[in-house]
Structure 1
Amino acid sequence: MTLLGSSDLDVFPLALGGNVFGWTADRDSSFEILDAFTTGGGDFIDTADGYSAWVPGNSGGESETIVGEWLADRKPSDITIATKVSSHPQFKGLSAKNVRAAAEASLKRLGVDTIDLYYAHFDDAETPLEETVAAFGQLVTDGLVRHTAVSNYSAGRIRSWISLAQDAGTAVPVAVQPHYNLVHRNDVEESIVPVAEEFGLSLVPYYALASGFLTGKYRSTDASAVESARAGGAAKYATPHGLRIIDELESIAAAHGASITSVSLAWLRSQPTVAAPIASASRVEQVADLLAGAKLELSDEELRALDDVSAWSPAHA
């Protein structure tokens, strides 16, 4: 278990991504995945009000609805729920009015009284940051949200948010959700990690498996060669550099009797300020590797080998 920043949220060191619920995992499959995750010790679920509005026939909120129905049916104890605001078709942006309305809608879909961790999903340049910070703080004051967080924010905007919150004596973010994995490192390590270290924030990275590339399944640049809704996103990483990373992961995985997926997550989990990578599963059979990735400990030598092979340079761009 690991604490998120300065909060009292003590979570399993891997969050189950809810982006697939209502997309590549229907309600029944989602229930099976959630059951397997919690039976294996998982207690941290990440979703967003915009999941999965991009699917034909969906309108947004489908993932939260499924999670809420599962919570109502299973009644699990000690589950930490994280969700986000700004990308639902009906609740775009981060104005105070929108933040409040979106939070109330998320609470209703989830069937909970309080959201454990509430993210600003994407920065909103059209709304004064002071307004957004105050709105998030008011949610905490009113008991709708326990802790606040930011996702997809630049280092400068995170600093500004924290400064405004401190000056106002209101809730300060405890976590940051960036795009971070073995094939997407430099932006986070150069700018976000230093801010997290300075202010005691925890990183909860998304795309931990690079759209599935870091499972080792996609070794062709031809996305059509793999019948998957996510194959296109993974295929872009199948460069010579990317495939060398897969080869190193495969070697380390073999030494541990583990999967490439588990080793990828173990590496990310070991990085400074990272508390719990986010990974999703479209099939219940995939959950075991996610759980193993939260428990696998790599040696210093193995971590260095992965650091070296995944280091970014202009030659690898």
Structure 2
Amino acid sequence: MTNISGTTLDVFPLCLGGNVFGWTAGEEESFAVLDAYAAAGGNFVDTADVYTEWVEGNSGGESETILGRWLAARGNRDEIVVATKVGMLSGYDSLDARTIRSAAENSLRRLGVDHIDLYYAHRDDEKTPLVETLAAFDALVKEGKVRHVAASNYSAPRLAEALAVSDREGFARFVALQPEYNLMERPKYEGELADLVAQEKLASFPYFALASGFLTGKYRPGAEISSARSGRAAQYLDERGARVLGALDEIARAHGTPMAAVALAWLAAQPTVVAPIASARTTEQLAEILPMVDLALTPEELDRLTTASS
């Protein structure tokens, strides 16, 4: 377990993404994945109110509802660090005070809990003054409905400004950032944003840690893959992608472990990263990523992957 700096939260090195719950994984499949993750020592689950609004017939909140039913059925609320988000669900897609308050109450109800451990601003809202957004988050923390707040998809300048506002006003400050970051998507995070996260002692929890499944190795030239994410993963099928897959192949064989675990281990070894976020539709998929927890890549292997993905 690793402590999130500035908090009392200790989290597993792999955060389980809940974006598939209610989408490609039904309730029964989701429960099986959650059970297997917890049995392996996992205690950190990431969801959002907007999951899975994009599915025909859904209205959002499905993932939170499934997670809440699992927590109730297993009676393990105190053992799980629950992270959810506000700011992207239709009708709740801003960060004004009223939206944050209402969305938080809805998330608490769906999750069946009395507090959220880590509550994210899902994306920046430049139309709402930061002081209003941060005051609303602070009020939830003071009431005990949220333990800590965090940001997702913020630029370095806006994140710096938000932290400065919190410090000036005495508000609860963001303790973490959730950026898109993986072997195939590096420039948006590395540099100014990562430097700020390090300077401010924030934790980084990268999403799309497996580049929409591309880094599992199942997407190859000519391969026919039936997956909800195949279109996004296919964008990486170029010369650089082939280099990365080649390096992952060799390192995975050397360790006798899945390629996905190697890709996640590279990410976990990067400065500021506390735990990558990865989802699993089935227990078989979960078994492909769990080995990253105990996988220690050598400096040479890390360098090889860094070079291949440059």
2:57 and 2:19 map into 1 onto residues whose CA distance is 16
Q: Return 185-194 or 245-254, whichever deviates more.
A: 185-194
The one-letter amino acid paired with 1:43 is: N
Q: CA RMSD in A?
A: 1.0
Q: Return 11-20 or 225-234, whichever deviates more.
A: 225-234
1:41 and 1:235 map into 2 onto residues whose CA distance is 33
The one-letter amino acid paired with 2:132 is: E
For residue 167 of structure 2, give the secondary structure of its aligned residue in structure 1.
Answer: helix
* Equivalent residues in 2 for 1:193-272, closer than 5 Å: 193-220=194-221, 225-272=224-271
Gaps of 5+ in 1: 312-317
Is the 1:159–1:195 Cα contact (8 Å) retained in structure 2?
A: yes
Is the 2:215–2:260 Cα contact (8 Å) retained in structure 1?
A: yes
The C-alpha deviation readout for 1:66-93, integer Å capped at 9, x for no partner, is 0000000011241100000011223121
Matched, 1:32 2:32: yes
2:165 and 2:185 map into 1 onto residues whose CA distance is 30
Q: Return 187-196 or 151-160, whichever deviates more.
A: 187-196
The C-alpha deviation readout for 1:100-150, integer Å capped at 9, x for no partner, is 100010000001111000000011111111110111111101111000000
Q: Give the match for residue 182 of structure 1.
A: 183
The one-letter amino acid paired with 1:185 is: R
Is the 2:96–2:133 Cα contact (8 Å) retained in structure 1?
A: yes
2:32 and 2:79 map into 1 onto residues whose CA distance is 19
The one-letter amino acid paired with 2:213 is: G
Q: Give the match for residue 314 of structure 1.
A: none
Change beyond 3 A, Cα 1:239–1:163: same
Q: Give the match for residue 306 of structure 1.
A: 305
The one-letter amino acid paired with 1:114 is: H
The C-alpha deviation readout for 1:9-53, integer Å capped at 9, x for no partner, is 100011000000000000100000000100011100000000000
Q: Give the match for residue 159 of structure 2.
A: 158
Normalised to the residue count of structure 1, the TM-score between the two structures is: 0.96
How many residues are paired up? 309
Is the 1:221–1:239 Cα contact (8 Å) retained in structure 2?
A: no
The C-alpha deviation readout for 1:212-244, integer Å capped at 9, x for no partner, is 00000001377xx21111111111011111111
The C-alpha deviation readout for 1:175-231, integer Å capped at 9, x for no partner, is 000000000011201121101111000100000000000000001377xx2111111
Matched, 1:118 2:129: no
1:255 and 1:231 map into 2 onto residues whose CA distance is 28
The one-letter amino acid paired with 1:50 is: V
Is the 2:261–2:288 Cα contact (8 Å) retained in structure 1?
A: yes
* Equivalent residues in 2 for 1:83-102, closer than 5 Å: 83-102=84-103
The one-letter amino acid paired with 2:68 is: G
Q: Give the match for residue 73 of structure 1.
A: 73
Is the 1:47–1:64 Cα contact (8 Å) retained in structure 2?
A: yes
Gaps of 5+ in 2: none
The one-letter amino acid paired with 1:16 is: L
Percent identity between the two aligned chains: 53
The one-letter amino acid paired with 2:54 is: W
Is the 1:221–1:236 Cα contact (8 Å) retained in structure 2?
A: no
1:151 and 1:191 map into 2 onto residues whose CA distance is 16
The C-alpha deviation readout for 1:237-292, integer Å capped at 9, x for no partner, is 11111111011011000000001000000000000000010000011111122211
Change beyond 3 A, Cα 1:221–1:165: farther
